[in-house]
Amino acid sequence: MPPGHPTPVRVLLRGLELVQALNRPGPMSTAALSQKLRLARTTVNRCLATLEATGFVERAPDSRRFVLTLRAKTLSHGFDPVTERLELLRSGLRDIAPRIQWPTSLMRFQWPDMFIEGSTDRDSGFAVEYFERGMLVPVLTTASGRAFLAFSTPRVRETVLDFLWPIRPAETVPTWADRAALELELAQTRERGFARAIRPLRVTEQGSLAVPVMVDGEPAAVLAVRFALSAVSFDEARKRLLPPLLEVVRSTGV
């Protein structure tokens, strides 16, 4: 430290190191943090307990790992009304999990993918794979990505598509022979108010529906639900699974 500088508060430094560590790879266990930061596990536990009590970290759905909350992310940007809504949306998804049963996700666009901000996969008995906070999923092949594209302003949509279209997955070629075909599907998505997608799995096909969370004319986030098409048809999902998602969106005042 420079001469005359006050003695550093070590526990504050440890807390900042923990926040920095969690900000990079995503969910981490106490043991992993202890090893990464070369700190005693008891010290890591005390810091995490404090950060959890003050709302800056929370336990991942498996309860053995920790992640930063959206509140922590506002530290570098100040108050963010969108971030506040996302906290409400994540809470809303947890509330409807027992009713909806199938895994649901909250996602935001993070160039050039969709970033998972939260999910109920660990609480769902029907999740074949776990979508967890911090994971990235593609835009063009997912209902969440298609919802984002459909409800974005033309300028944003064109910018994203100019980048993604030349490198689109081969599986999308039979679906959209050209961009006009994709634009038609996005227009139909806007008309019905939600996006849909089908993804092949080993045993069955997985269907998904997604609705945008609009803030100031742009989709600030997307809520999505995934289900086995062998158990739930798209028509059944529209009638039974879509209303709870819309209920969560409305509950945030969007």
In a domain, 192, yes or no: yes
Domain co-membership, 92 together with 158: yes
| Number of folded domains that form the chain | 2
Query: At 177, is the secondary structure helix, strand, or coil?
Result: coil
Say whether both 118 and 153 belong to one domain: yes
Q: Which of 69, 96, 113 is the last residue of a domain?
A: 69
Domain that holds residue 180: 80-251
Residue 65 sits in the same domain as residue 87:
no
Instruction: Please confirm whether the linkage preceding 112 is cis (ω < 30° from 0).
Output: yes
- Decide if 61 contacts 122 (C-beta within 8 A): yes
Q: Are residues 90 and 205 in the same domain?
A: yes
- If asked whether residues 54 and 113 sit together in one domain, one would say no
What digits encode the pLDDT tens for the residues 169-206? 998 999 999 999 999 999 999 999 999 999 887 777 99
Of residues 242 and 1, the one with the higher pLDDT is 242
Same domain? 36 vs 84: no
Q: Write the pLDDT tens digit of every residue in 134-163.
A: 889 999 999 999 999 999 999 999 999 999
> 52 and 154 share a domain?
no
Q: By three-state DSSP, how is residue 105 classified?
A: strand
Residue 210 · residue 131 · CB < 8 Å: no
Q: How many helices (H) and strands (E) does the chain have?
A: 10, 9
How far is Cα 247 from Cα 231, in angstroms, rounded to an integer? Answer: 23
Encode pLDDT of 33-80 as tens digits: 888 888 888 888 888 888 888 888 888 766 788 888 767 766 655 445
Answer whether residue 83 shows pLDDT above 80: no
Q: Which of 27-31, 49-53, 87-91, 190-194 has the highest mean pLDDT?
A: 190-194
Q: Tell me, yes or no, whether 131 lies in a domain.
A: yes
Q: Which of 38, 69, 100 is the last residue of a domain?
A: 69
Mean pLDDT of 23-37: 82
| β-bridge partners, 9 | none
Mean pLDDT rounded to a whole number for the chain: 87
C-alpha–C-alpha distance, residues 93 and 66, integer Å: 19
Task: Take residue 185 and report the two structure tokens written for it.
Answer: 């599907």
Residue 3 lies in a domain: no
Identify the band that residue 81 occupies on the pLDDT scale cut at 50, 70 and 90: low
- Whole-number pLDDT of residue 122: 86
Confidence class for position 124, pLDDT limits 50, 70, 90 = confident
CATH at 150: 3.30.450.40
The CATH code of the domain that includes 40 is 1.10.10.10
**52 and 107 share a domain?**
no
Q: Is there a single domain that holds both residue 202 and residue 108? A: yes
pTM confidence score: 0.71
Q: How far is CA 117 from CA 73, 86, 138, in A?
A: 12, 8, 14
pLDDT of residue 236: 96
The residue ranking higher by pLDDT, 33 or 224, is 224
E-strand ranges in 90-203 read: 104-110, 113-119, 136-137, 195-200
Domain membership of residue 4 (yes or no) is no
Question: Are 116 and 149 in the same domain?
Answer: yes
Share of the chain above pLDDT 70, in %: 88
For residue 155, is it within any domain? yes
Which of 23, 38, 69 is the endpoint of a domain?
69
Query: Is 98 a member of any domain?
Result: yes
Does 133 lie in the same domain as 235?
yes
pLDDT band at 4 (very low <50, low <70, confident <90, very high): low
| Co-location of 177 and 127 in the same domain | yes
pLDDT at residue 130 in the model: 84
Q: Is residue 74 part of a domain?
A: no
Structure confidence at residue 79 (pLDDT): 46
**237 in a structural domain:** yes
User: Is the pLDDT at 123 greater than 50, yes or no?
Assistant: yes
